[in-house]
Amino acid sequence: MSHRLADERAPDASTKDPTGAPARRWPGHLTVLVCYAALAYWVTSRLWVAPQTRLLADNRNDQPLMEWMFAHGAYALTHLSNPLLTDSVQVPHGANLMANSSVVLPALILAPVTLAFGAATTFVLFSGLCLAGTAAAWYVLFRRRLTGSALAAGLGAGLIGFAPGMISLSNAHVHITAQFLVPFVVACVLPSPGPPRPVRRGALLGVLLTAQLLTGTEVLLFTALGVGVFVLLWAALNPWAVRRALPGLAIRLGVAVAVFVPLASYPLWVLLAGPNSYHGTPWDIGVYGTDVASWPWFNAFSLLGGAAQAGRVYSGNVTEQTAFLGPGLLVLLAALVWWLRRRRTVVALAATAVLFAVFSFGTEIIVLRTHTGVTGPWAAVARLPLIEQAIPDRLALVSIAAFGAILTFGADRAVRTGLPRPLWLAGYAAALVPLLPTALPVTHRPPIPQFFTAGSWRDHVRAGHSVLAVPTTFATDRLSMRWSSGTNAEMAVPDGAVMIPGPNGEAQWGTPRSRLATTAAWASRTGRVPRVDAAAQTRAHSDLAAGRTDCVVLDPAAPHGEAVRRTLDRLLSVRARYAGGVWYWDVRPAR
């Protein structure tokens, strides 16, 4: 590598901003950023109508989880507790949040928003910020490193921030769409056209890596893999430049490690060996791979897509439709790579994109929903430590980042060579307009009962004890976590759908439902009151003791609520009382 990436820009006109003086550049910058903000608002607009009572229709279970994560961040900040661990779910054992889909650092930063407006509002705000912020960060990198054209940088960065896969993952997977730090990590690793300052940039890189670790560990892994592969490919294509660039790169990486290790040692220990850490995954990695045919397809959230069309090719679920770039964009990218084939950086980007597209196929090649039985390349590494929890279809996002850079290179060359703007813009529009995102579909959900939001629950729960929500229909039901988020995670619950270690240390989704919970669920499902004897009452009280439960609360929206109430009256040997919009049972020992 040279002092800067070889052939990033021509040494003459391409290094100059075509708009001239810095003051004249701001309208272009603002236009791009306003477009990003408008798109992000559009994608999340249906949630903004009523954040407390709107729920993502395509991922109803994970939104309450992420809302609880933001609530826990506010709790950790106001109570000066450890944000990486919690004893507010899975009482009495607690959970390891570093080993779950947490967004520790953003939750702490946005705690004032959570405290003022609630965790649901923070979730919607952050969902939009992830999209607009990721696009804006790539725009800054492309504008400074690749092109003098705001339009060229804006198009490439816009693809990365608002790619169909990013919109699909915006269905509550904000720990993956939070990629706004990634471009700055890339900028610190790759050579800079300005003063080298390897020590300063290395220190900044160490801080950024730590921040990304606390924002999303999976994105940090993909960033390391993507940047590492690109650098190796670029070095292979530019062997004469490696010798000059190697000392600076070595200093940057050495300083980064020296900064990262002390900052990240404790979070990494918590992740890998701390309380309630685990190994493996509770899901089948083989389920999550991109269908080879999905790349030229449109997904459920694109202008020319839709659920019916997306369903013709395979995806793990609707929130994992990560490829789906449409035929027009793939044709455009192929044409741009051919047009720019003499630029080694573009060739390295294209090779990186293809390699990660192949990796995204996962552990088995699937074509048009047909499982071919052919082992995918990801199978070779799928069970390695740290990698074992990564979902392979998300590797497509690395390819899309490389594609965004190629789009920027292509638009930059079109601007510099004087190619008629209507001509090349028409080509870009034909490829990108069909991918414009639709607003995420939502459905209604009941508000969190006043019993929790007004703090009435505190009158019935001792310190260190919990509240049980009934009925829950499955072990990963997050009703109790949603109610807890209404108390900013102050209220502890004996369940909660988080990953915890099983008997042999393997990951599992929470603990199996208690007999009390399954009995309440049966009454809700059938509308019948089961026979309750002394043995059943003893088992119920044993379940309460195991979860240190002081209060049981009936979901006011539960089917056959009257049957559930009568069932619990008998099981708990206590009659329900009504307050704050719910029926509840105070099961504390008699004082």
SS3 label, residue 523: helix
pLDDT given at position 310 = 86
Are 337 and 468 in the same domain? no
Are 429 and 476 in the same domain? no
Are 469 and 423 in the same domain? no
Closest listed residue to residue 101, CA positions, set 62, 127, 61: 62
The predicted model gives 184-201 an average pLDDT of: 90
Q: How many CB atoms are closer than 10 A to CB 181?
A: 22
Are 353 and 465 in the same domain? no
pLDDT given at position 26 = 85
Are 387 and 526 in the same domain? no
Tokens of 515: 């007999």
Residue 476 maps to a domain: yes
Are 427 and 468 in the same domain? no
pLDDT given at position 578 = 98
Residue 13 maps to a domain: no
Are 429 and 561 in the same domain? no
Residue type, 83: P
Domain count, the chain: 2
Q: What is the pLDDT of residues 502-561, one digit of tens each?
A: 989 998 988 888 999 999 999 999 999 999 999 999 999 999 999 999 999 999 999 999
Residue 487 maps to a domain: yes
Residue type, 254: G
Domain boundary among 404, 435, 466: 435
Q: What is the pLDDT of residues 160-180, one digit of tens each?
A: 999 999 999 999 999 999 999
β-pair partners for 577: 584
Are residues 46 and 440 in contact, defined by beta-carbon separation less than 8 angstroms? yes
Residue 574 maps to a domain: yes
Closest listed residue to residue 119, CA positions, set 106, 134, 101, 133: 106
Measured at the alpha carbon of residue 29, what is the angle toward residues 27 and 31, in degrees to the nearest 5?
Answer: 65
Q: Which of 284-288, 329-333, 351-355, 435-439 has the lowest mean pLDDT?
A: 284-288
Domain boundary among 389, 404, 435: 435
Phi, psi of 381 (to 5 degrees): -120, 0
Residue 103 maps to a domain: no
Q: How many CB atoms are closer than 10 A to CB 536?
A: 17
Kindly report the pTM of this predicted structure.
0.94
Tokens of 366: 């699937």
Question: Could you write out the three-class secondary structure of 373-389?
Answer: EEECHHHHCCCCCCCCC
Please state, in angstroms and rounded to a whole number, the distance separating the CA atoms of residues 43 and 385: 35
- Asked whether the bond before 92 is cis by omega within 30 degrees of 0, the reply is yes
Are residues 483 and 477 in contact, defined by beta-carbon separation less than 8 angstroms? no
For 325, the domain range is: 26-52+118-177+277-435
Residue 474 maps to a domain: yes
Closest listed residue to residue 529, CA positions, set 488, 478, 494, 564: 564
The predicted model gives 380-393 an average pLDDT of: 89
Residue 96 maps to a domain: no
Are residues 315 and 393 in contact, defined by beta-carbon separation less than 8 angstroms? yes
The predicted model gives 270-281 an average pLDDT of: 93
Are residues 486 and 67 in contact, defined by beta-carbon separation less than 8 angstroms? no
Are 402 and 465 in the same domain? no
Q: What is the pLDDT of residues 133-164, one digit of tens each?
A: 999 999 999 999 999 999 999 999 999 999 99
pLDDT reading at 400 higher than 80: yes
Are 571 and 468 in the same domain? yes
Are residues 486 and 467 in contact, defined by beta-carbon separation less than 8 angstroms? no
Are residues 493 and 88 in contact, defined by beta-carbon separation less than 8 angstroms? yes
Whole-number Cα distances in Å, 467 to 131, 405, 575: 36, 50, 17
Are residues 215 and 103 in contact, defined by beta-carbon separation less than 8 angstroms? yes
pLDDT reading at 342 higher than 60: yes
Please state, in angstroms and rounded to a whole number, the distance separating the CA atoms of residues 298 and 293: 10
First to last CA, the chain: 74
Residue 209: its H or E element: helix 198-213
Residue 107 maps to a domain: no
Are 455 and 345 in the same domain? no
Please state, in angstroms and rounded to a whole number, the distance separating the CA atoms of residues 417 and 164: 31
Are 542 and 497 in the same domain? yes
Please state, in angstroms and rounded to a whole number, the distance separating the CA atoms of residues 12 and 21: 17
Are 373 and 469 in the same domain? no
Domain boundary among 377, 400, 435: 435
Closest listed residue to residue 303, CA positions, set 326, 322, 323, 331: 326
Please state, in angstroms and rounded to a whole number, the distance separating the CA atoms of residues 269 and 586: 39
